[in-house]
Structure 1
Amino acid sequence: MFPQSGTNAVREHYGSVRRRFTSYSEEDFQKKQSAIDRAFVEHGVTFTVYSDDQGTERIFPFDPFPRVIPSEEWTLVEQGLIQRITALNLFLHDIYHEARIVADGVIPAYFVESAAHYRPELKGLDVPGDVYVHICGSDLIRDQNGCYVVLEDNLRCPSGVSYVLENRE
């Protein structure tokens, strides 16, 4: 929402969001946040932290401030994510077929073979369209220069993917 310049100015494309949110009193904002929390509980949008001794369900964190990404920035993000997921599919195809990345010494074989989700029974198996990654949850942030960076790709079972529709309610 804020530029990296250190000023309190709001990025131009956040103007309407800023106007909307600054029109709320603190009490109005708290009421809206409480309504969101209640709706999440009622719809089961919760998660359990199993490492917590209490093991209680918690409301999925939800920031009511939308992330506004201008179309020209989104086009760049989209192209980058397509490239990234294509590379992941090519990597998985190589691992389960020729394994050139291992043979060329780029990645040691034990890194692959000891990976928790590596499946040796898939060696040589052709998958339709060479698509191994059917859904991907890439965690994006902006770095100190305002550029988008992927923190990680969740391929197995992207956490939060089931919350996307609920967040749009």
Structure 2
Amino acid sequence: MTISIGDKLPDAVLKTRTEDGPTDISTAEIFDGKKVVLFAVPGAFTPTCSMNHLPGFLDLNDEIRAKGVDTIAVVAVNDVFVMNAWSKANDAEGKVLFLADGNAEFTKAVGLDMDLTVAGLGVRSKRYSMVVDNGVVTALNIEESPGQADKSSAGALLEQL
């Protein structure tokens, strides 16, 4: 079942990279008591993700935060090392929190997984963006196609804040 506006995000543990190396981070740590913009991509370093989706959140970072957003985060079904390299390659450290969902546990728990095994990519996340206020989804934008980044773009989300 796909998560909907008004739903609380499920408890899950993701991974992020800190100065101490790969670190577990719970959804409670990320979302409780905060207003968070979360966007998801099918894969780090993939064309639409790297050329369209992520850059928008970097370009509009200040404007999004000016709307009271505490954290802007991206999640992908990639390992923490790939997510860290993607962050560095895009000079995104300190601007976007990169979350690795290597086993797609969070992605499956929110019902936004898709099977791309036919393309050799395995289980991946649908492309989406959401606003989460204290753990509750207040806006949700799911793309129909993984190659699209329109509904879930930073600009579209900024208009919802």
Q: TM-score range with shorter-chain normalisation?
A: under 0.3
**Which of the pair is proportionally richer in helix?**
1
TM-score, length basis structure 1:
0.23
More strand per residue: 2
Mark the structure with the bigger radius of gyration.
Answer: 1
Structure with the larger RCO, 1 or 2 (CA within 8 Å, 6+ apart): 2
